[in-house]
C-alpha cells in the first residue's frame, strides 16, 4: 500500500516517522516526502508529543532520491517546459523547509547509507544520532548534474566554505567519523547501541516543558532567519532547475540522464562508477 511507504507511531511523548521501502534502501519519492511532512504536522498537532524521531527501515537510512525514472526528477520538464521543473523542486524545497522549521524537535536516527536527499533530511533535523558504519555523500555532481543550491548556506555555516565546497562539488563519500568531526551529527555509536542512544536523547527532550520546547523552537527559527538559512529555499527551486536544464555537455563528459536513456539504469550506474571511482571519491 502506498500509505505504508512511510509509517507513523507514537510511544509516550515520542513520535516516530519511519521511511519504509527497505527493499530499495528507502529510496525517496515525492509521495514519501509528502507523507513525511504530513506526519510531522500530525506530531506538531498532538500536544502529547514532545519530539519526533525520523528513521529508516531495513539496512540503511536512505540511499537518496529514487532515480529509477530519471526523467521524472524534473517533472518531465525537458519536453513539457521549465515550469514543471520549478514546481517539482519547489515541492521538495518546501519539505526541507517544513522540517527545518518544525514546531517539535526532530532527531534523525541514522544507520547504513545516508546519501543525497537522505543527508538533506539529516541536515534539517535538529539532532542526528548515527551508527559508526553510516556513510554519507552528496553525489549530484557524479550524475553530471549540479550540487543542490539551498544546501550551501547551511553547510557552509556549519563546516566552513572550503569543506562545503569539497563535499558538494566533488560529491565524495565520507564516513560517520568524518561527519562527527565536521559537526554534522551529534553522536556516533556502535549499531547495537543506536536505539539506546536515541532513547536517551528523546528522553531528555521529553522531560522538557511543552512551553519551553515551543519557545526554544521559535528562538531557533529566529536564528535561522538571522543567519539567512531560511532564505535559501526559494533561490534553489527558482534558479537551480534552469541552470541544470540549460547545462550542455561535450561528448566526453558524463550525463547520467542521457546515459540511462541509452544504456538503462544499470549501464548508467556502471559508467558513473567507472568515471568517478577510486580512493578519493570513496564510492
Active site residues: 140
Return the C-alpha cell found at 19.
521511511
Give the other-Cβ count within 10 Å of 97's Cβ.
20
Residue with cell 561528448: 251
d(CA 256, CA 40): 33
| CA nearest to 14, candidates 210, 206, 209 | 206
d(CA 173, CA 163): 13
Residue with cell 511523548: 13
d(CA 155, CA 124): 10
d(CA 133, CA 42): 32
Beta pairing partners, 115: 137
Q: Which class for 85: exposed (0-12), middle (13-18), buried (19 or more C-beta within 10 A)?
A: buried
Q: Which class for 74: exposed (0-12), middle (13-18), buried (19 or more C-beta within 10 A)?
A: buried
Beta pairing partners, 18: 7, 55
Would you say 51 and 14 are in contact if contact means Cβ atoms under 8 Å apart?
yes
d(CA 43, CA 50): 8
Amino acid at each position: 500500500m502506498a500509505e505504508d511507504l512511510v509509517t507513523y507511531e507514537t510511544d509516550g511523548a515520542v513520535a516516530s516517522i519511519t521511511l519504509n521501502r527497505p527493499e530499495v534502501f528507502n529510496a525517496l519519492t515525492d509521495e514519501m516526502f509528502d507523507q513525511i511532512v504530513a506526519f510531522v504536522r500530525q506530531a506538531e498537532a498532538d500536544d502529547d508529543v514532545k519530539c519526533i524521531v525520523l528513521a529508516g527501515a531495513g539496512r540503511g537510512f536512505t540511499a537518496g532520491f529514487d532515480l529509477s525514472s530519471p526523467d521524472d526528477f524534473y517533472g518531465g520538464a525537458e519536453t513539457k517546459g521549465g515550469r514543471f521543473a520549478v514546481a517539482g523542486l519547489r515541492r521538495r524545497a518546501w519539505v526541507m523547509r517544513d522540517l527545518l522549521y518544525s514546531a517539535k524537535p526532530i532527531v534523525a536516527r541514522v544507520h547504513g547509507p545516508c546519501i543525497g536527499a537522505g543527508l538533506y533530511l539529516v541536515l534539517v533535523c535538529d539532532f542526528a544520532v548515527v551508527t559508526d558504519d553510516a556513510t554519507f555523500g552528496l553525489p549530484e555532481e557524479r550524475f553530471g548534474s549540479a550540487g543542490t543550491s539551498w544546501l550551501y548556506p547551511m553547510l557552509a555555516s556549519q563546516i566552513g566554505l572550503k569543506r562545503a565546497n569539497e563535499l558538494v562539488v566533488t560529491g565524495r563519500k565520507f564516513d560517520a567519523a568524518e561527519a562527527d568531526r565536521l559537526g554534522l551529527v551529534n553522536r556516533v555509536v556502535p549499531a547495537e547501541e543506536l536505539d539506546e542512544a536515541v532513547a536517551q536523547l528523546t528522553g531528555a527532550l521529553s522531560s522538557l516543558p511543552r512551553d519551553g520546547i515551543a519557545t526554544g523552537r521559535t528562538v531557533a527559527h529566529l536564528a535561522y532567519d538571522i543567519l539567512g538559512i531560511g532564505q535559501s529555499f526559494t533561490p534553489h527551486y527558482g534558479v537551480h532547475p534552469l541552470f541544470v536544464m540549460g547545462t550542455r555537455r561535450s561528448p566526453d563528459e558524463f550525463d547520467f540522464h542521457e546515459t540511462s536513456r541509452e544504456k538503462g539504469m544499470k549501464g548508467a550506474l556502471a559508467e558513473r562508477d567507472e568515471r568517478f571511482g577510486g580512493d578519493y571519491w570513496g564510492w
